[in-house]
A and B are shown apart, each in its own frame.
Chain A
Amino acid sequence: MIHFTPFAERVRKAFEPTPRGVIGLVDDLLGLCRVHRLRIDFQDSHCYVRPLGTDAQDSIDVPLPKSAFRAVLARIAALCNELQPDSVTPYRGEGEIVVPSSISVDGNPPSTCYVSFVNTSSDQRLELRFSRNSVGDGNRFTVLLRDKRTVTVYGHALQYIRGMASNPHDSGSYGILSRVGGAEVVIAFFRVSEVTGVFSGDIRE
């Protein structure tokens, strides 16, 4: 068994009951699968969670009633069918779920998770894994401003936009581009004079 690892801590946290009930648990698992690929099984009155692809002996035993896990699987099925009607039955299937940024961990952008599940009277299991970002091609740009603030923007490209020729003090701007409905649009705009730097990804100290 794994104990006291970041994975175990995150999983245990996700399985702590909240006022959001089963819906909240599903949201937390979808957020978690951006970081960890998950395999969850219910056997012998226990709910076992492990990183997908590892041995069953690496599982964490989390306290969850069987009826709650079956409701988790039912919620997963409903979310798959919201995105793609009739893509799965309540009893089994494989599909995709879009995870809104509001429930992604660490403020990540909307993403798509691949799920596979079985929810029958004799077999209950779930696999969750991150599939892809759902916004543009999902690059994260971190803009460091001269006043020490940072701004994170999700887009697919960075573009320099010239300043107005009639204004010699206008040194131009940086635009961050994203694809929306097949078109390329500027979704963020920063004056060069206010920017220290633009980085792809996170700024790490």
Chain B
Amino acid sequence: MILLHGTTRRRAEGIIDLGPDPRFREPGGQATEDGFSMYLETGPFHFGMPDEYARGKATEFPDEGGAVILVLNVPDEIVRVAATEWFPLSQGLVQFDCGSGLEELVAGWSEVKKSAQIRSIT
């Protein structure tokens, strides 16, 4: 399944290299346990568009290389593990949390990263 994540170029490159970090700490921020959220490429986009998030992060952190969309092809079985009562796939939002797909995504990262792409947003 093709999934999208709006972010900055530096963060996208970091995610590809190291995999998603659920304890990612923004500059000046605190470590969080927010998991890793992505959108189905096909939508729907009930929670805002990925490029809005990318632009927002790029505006807040202007030295991170600008807004991009990280595009991943994640195996269907991993995506299905992330679907919970709060995050049915019909909403279009795939939320990888600890205990809900994040471990599986990290375990399969070496394969997932091979097809990863970074799309610039103009």
Contacts and interface: CB of A to CB of B under 8 A. Distances in A.
Given A19-B88, A21-B85, A22-B86, A70 B46 contact: no
Contacts of B45: 78
A62 to B, nearest CB: 12
Contacts of B53: 90
Contact of B30 (A25, A64, A75, A122): A122
22 contacts: A19-B88, A21-B86, A21-B88, A22-B47, A22-B86, A65-B97, A66-B34, A67-B34, A67-B35, A67-B86, A67-B95, A67-B97, A68-B86, A68-B95, A70-B34, A71-B93, A74-B47, A75-B46, A75-B47, A90-B53, A91-B60, A121-B34
A interface majority secondary structure: helix
Interface residues of A, number: 25
Contacts of B86: 17, 21-22, 25, 64-65, 67-68, 71
Given A21-B88, A78-B48, A71 B29 contact: no
A121 B95 contact: no
A136 B82 CA distance: 44
Interface of A: 17-19, 21-23, 25, 64-68, 70-71, 74-75, 77-78, 81, 89-91, 120-122
Nearest to B28: A122
Given A66-B33, A78-B45, A90-B48, 11 more contacts: A17-B85, A18-B85, A21-B88, A22-B86, A68-B95, A71-B86, A71-B93, A77-B48, A81-B48, A91-B60, A121-B32
